[in-house]
Amino acid sequence: MEELITGAEAMARALKAEAVDTVFGYPGGYIMAVFDALFAYKEEVTTILTRHEQGAVHAAQGYARASGKVGVVLVTSGPGASNIVTGAADAMLDSTPLVIIAGQSGVDKLGSDSFQETDLIGITQPVTKWNYQIRTAAEIPWAIARAFYIAREGRPGPVVLDCSKDAQAEKVDFHYEKCTFIRSYQPYPSINETKIAQAAEWINSAERPLAIVGQGVQLGHAQEELLQFIEKSGIPVATTLMGRSVLPASHPLNMGMVGMHGNVAPNRKTNECDLLIAVGMRFADRVTGDEKSYARQARIIHLDIDPSELNKNIHADLAIAGNVKYSLPAITALLEPSSHTQWVESFRPLQQLEEEHVISKDLHPQGDAMTMQEVVRLLSELSGKNVVCVSDVGQNEMATARYFQASPSRLYVASGGLGTMGFCLPAAIGAALGSPKAEIYSVCGDGGFQMTEQELGTIMQYNLPVKILLLNNNYLGMVRQLQEIFLEGRYASTRMQNPDFVMLTSAYGIPARRVDRREELQAAMKEWIAAEGPSLLEVQVEEKGLVFPMIPSGHPISDMILEK
């Protein structure tokens, strides 16, 4: 029997059919019909009212990264829609699956500059995996099904649906079928067995192999396959910033992080290895430095699900397209057990060099002022086994990436490719909803925190157990560091006059405390961690602290600055 329902109701039912349990958003005139339809399903689908549309997208990113599901965003037209662009661009670069649904004016008003009309399709085309304008109610089930398939399958990414007011109001005979195939989209390339055999042959004959692994291992749920690969081959491993959680930090073959503020040993050994195996990473410029001098001495094997990433930035001698969950074990099956003991031991002197010139100074400073690094290390030591640690962008991010001991069960989440300040607080909100049994930590700097601090209202309204660690140095620290090193200390527009963060947070009904002395830190942090519900711990850290090692932008990765 035919059942006619509105397009808004059809959208709500379609989201239910895709097992959506959480929607982040902000209502407005051209999308309130969908919010109204979802209200009838409030016991099954939780709608989270953020305080800004950008916050909604970052929250959906945090939800997706913590849960492995597709994050869903619902906003109105015009400024509501345009406010999602930063989050969409961030999700695109970091391969985060999102479905963002925006309201739009009536079809007869399109192109007329009517109230709160904007060309969302044109605006978001460069920063989405797919976008589509829905003009009729009949298109809604098809568009929703296709959007979820594209967002999650293959290399994940954001999808935008621009839904007209007419489509929401029209009646439609609702029928929903999940999308399982799109003729023009092949999300999982067939793995070339000849190339797999060639990769195994090269690995078996290599004397100084090095693997660099990225977030693709996590997105492909291939952590166990990676572990089997490195333990059979005995190959030392480095991670990218986005790949920090794919391997336990304590694993003896984990040599740390590569990149601009990565560890000395894996960075320098990249230019000494005879075989470089890149797994689920994209050779971003922050990893490679000067591309012309990057790993010139090595054969390079590159495994990635996205064929467009192969040979894009760095030429690979052997490029293998495919999901690393399947390509990696296929190689492992052909490997001869090995240890590479002498090669692994050659990393130790460089690790000791970093320990003496960087780590010991970070964790055991001579002065009274606390460093970001020692505060983050204490958090790492005191937090539990099931953790999501979200960092913002800047010095706090690099300190957290270096000193928070990540693993598959201690997830590290950051904005990598776009480097979006303000990502942290709303992403932690999403992580709290996506991983409700985990401890959730939001590690912010004073600059990034103020970009999205309004989301304290979201935390307050839903009583989300987000623990905010605010590392306050009264500067835009990373820019200030560059000014100190390269611009003779001319601190143009980086000194910040900050509010009373404890008073501000308390105004939202969230307990807050400020610590400015080292002898108070451990007890304060233990109390902050143990407290139920949300809370903020502001720690006054040294104003002009530096994050080392550091590779100047555009320089070879061997040009690492260890100290000023």
Residues noted as catalytic: 53, 115-116, 165, 478
Among 123, 304, 93, 325, which residue's Cα sits nearest to residue 224?
Answer: 325
3-state secondary structure of 497: coil
Which residues make Cβ contacts (< 8 Å) with residue 561, sequence separation at least 6?
485, 548, 549, 550, 551, 552
Q: Are 376 and 363 in contact (CB under 8 A)?
A: no
Distance CA(414)–CA(398), nearest Å, equals: 10
Among 542, 539, 515, which residue's Cα sits nearest to residue 368?
Answer: 542
Q: Are 246 and 323 in contact (CB under 8 A)?
A: no
As a three-state string, the secondary structure of 527-545 is HHHHCCCCEEEEEEECCCC
Specify the amino acid at residue 236.
P
Q: Helix 223-233 vs helix 324-332: angle between axes, to the nearest 10 degrees?
A: 20
* Cβ-based neighbour number of residue 393 at 10 Å: 23
Continuous segment of H or E residues that includes residue 192: none
Distance (Å) of CA 416 to CA 90, 243, 280, 336: 8, 10, 14, 35
Which residues make Cβ contacts (< 8 Å) with residue 184, sequence separation at least 6?
none
Please state the φ and ψ torsions of residue 134, each to the nearest 5 degrees: -90, 120
Give bridge partners of residue 441 from the DSSP assignment. 389, 467
β pairing state of 98-104 and 130-134: unpaired
Helical residues (DSSP H) of 153-192, grouped into ranges: 165-169
Among 141, 176, 178, 175, which residue's Cα sits nearest to residue 1?
Answer: 175
Distance CA(246)–CA(266), nearest Å, equals: 16
